[in-house]
């Protein structure tokens, strides 16, 4: 495990459960399992907590006292950062894109309940969001504070190590359950999760990884490859992940954080079949991608596929289905 050399906090309850999806396996004809990272036990759970265990350990070790991060209006990452900072007694400021602002619903309700400072920036461009974050950082510094900026999604190599660990955790659970993981499928939003999973899968040996793209990113394959290889270097592994190992399937639908018909249908199928709730921004579209790939014969017969539930359920209470 990577946490011997590099600082890591315990913010979530791990291992999260992993279970076979009986009903979905029947419907799709594929051996399907789910990794419940939505159940990691802080706020309403989600993948960002594994990244934050590394990022906030670093912030604390270096004596930072105020955390800033950015995201979309309903950012899961921002809310989970705020929740973890509240738990650790760190100050936190969220700088969010105004588009998609809902008032006190979903994650914005949770941010309000935690009494977190939220600054909205009316722009479609992250460079404007970071410019605003920089202005806030300068103001905080002038007041004698030591601010720590976490980039969007926490998708930096250090954060990705959380998903390197997650694959080790999943492989151990699978072994106990009596099967071998052949394929992992996860959402690819800002790339840190996918990058970490790739690195973890490579360390385990023969596990394929497919990332489902749910937001528009330029040169995304290269970016994920870079994150994975730089994360490898952090833990003294060879940075030997090749570009073609980053497999991406695009299921954005009408746009980032805009529900898609297929995504909504996939959310309903999962809820009706398994009693599990996915979200309209990431996991619903990713599961829709999984269902489509099953139909197209993408998975080898007999393959054991693990779908990572990366969280995001608060958006169900903010966006239309």
Closest CB 131 distance from ligand PLP, rounded Å: 22
Structure token pair of residue 299: 């998975």
Would you say 24 or 78 has its CB closer to ligand PLP?
Answer: 78
Closest CB 71 distance from ligand PLP, rounded Å: 8
CB 319 within 8 A of CB 257: yes
Q: Coil, strand or helix: which one is 154?
A: helix
Q: Is 3 left (phi over 0), alpha (psi -120 to 50) or beta?
A: alpha
Examine the residue annotation and report whether 260 is marked as an active-site residue of this protein.
no
Would you say 177 or 271 has its CB closer to ligand PLP?
Answer: 271
Would you say 148 or 256 has its CB closer to ligand PLP?
Answer: 256
Q: Which residue is nearest to ligand PLP (CB)?
A: 312
Would you say 76 or 81 has its CB closer to ligand PLP?
Answer: 76
Q: Which residues contact 275 (CB under 8 A, 6 or more apart)?
A: none
Q: Is 262 left (phi over 0), alpha (psi -120 to 50) or beta?
A: alpha
Q: Where are the alpha helices (DSSP H) in the chain?
A: 22-28, 48-61, 76-88, 106-113, 126-142, 157-177, 192-204, 220-234, 261-274, 283-295
Q: How many angstroms separate the first and last alpha carbons of the chain?
A: 40
Interface residues toward ligand PLP, by CB under 6 A? 46-47, 76-77, 153, 155, 187-194, 279, 282-283, 310-312
Q: Report d(CA 150, CA 9) in Å as an integer.
A: 16
| Catalytic residue annotation | 75
């Amino acid at each position: 495990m990577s946490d011997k050399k590099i600082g890591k906090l315990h913010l979530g309850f791990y291992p999260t459960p992993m279970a076979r999806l009986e009903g979905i396996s029947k419907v799709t004809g594929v051996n399907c399992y789910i990794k419940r990272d939505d159940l990691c036990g802080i706020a309403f759970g989600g993948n960002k907590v594994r990244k934050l265990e590394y990022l906030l350990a670093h912030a604390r070790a270096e004596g930072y006292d105020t955390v800033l991060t950015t995201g979309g209006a309903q950012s899961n990452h921002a809310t989970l950062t705020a929740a973890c900072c509240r738990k650790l007694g760190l100050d936190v400021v969220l700088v969010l894109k105004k588009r998609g602002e809902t008032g006190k619903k979903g994650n914005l309700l949770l941010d309000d309940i935690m009494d977190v400072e939220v600054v909205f920036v009316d722009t479609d461009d992250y460079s404007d969001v970071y410019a605003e974050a920089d202005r806030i950082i300068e103001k905080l510094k002038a007041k004698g504070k030591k601010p720590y900026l976490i980039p969007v999604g926490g998708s930096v190599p250090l954060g990705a190590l959380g998903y390197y660990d997650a694959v080790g955790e999943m492989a151990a659970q699978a072994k106990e359950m009596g099967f071998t993981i052949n394929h992992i499928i996860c959402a690819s939003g800002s790339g840190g999760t996918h990058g970490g999973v790739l690195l973890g899968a490579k360390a385990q040996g023969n596990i394929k990884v497919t990332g489902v793209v749910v937001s528009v990113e330029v040169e995304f394959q290269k970016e994920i490859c870079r994150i994975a290889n730089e994360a490898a270097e952090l833990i003294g592994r060879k940075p030997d992940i090749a570009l073609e190992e980053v497999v991406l399937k695009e299921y954005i639908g009408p746009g980032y954080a805009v529900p898609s018909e297929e995504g909504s249908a996939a959310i309903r199928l999962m809820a009706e079949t398994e009693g599990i709730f996915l979200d309209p921004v990431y996991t619903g579209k990713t599961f829709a991608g999984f269902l489509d790939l099953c139909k197209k014969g993408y998975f080898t017969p007999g393959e054991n596929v693990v779908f990572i539930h990366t969280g995001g359920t608060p958006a169900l209470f903010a966006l239309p289905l």
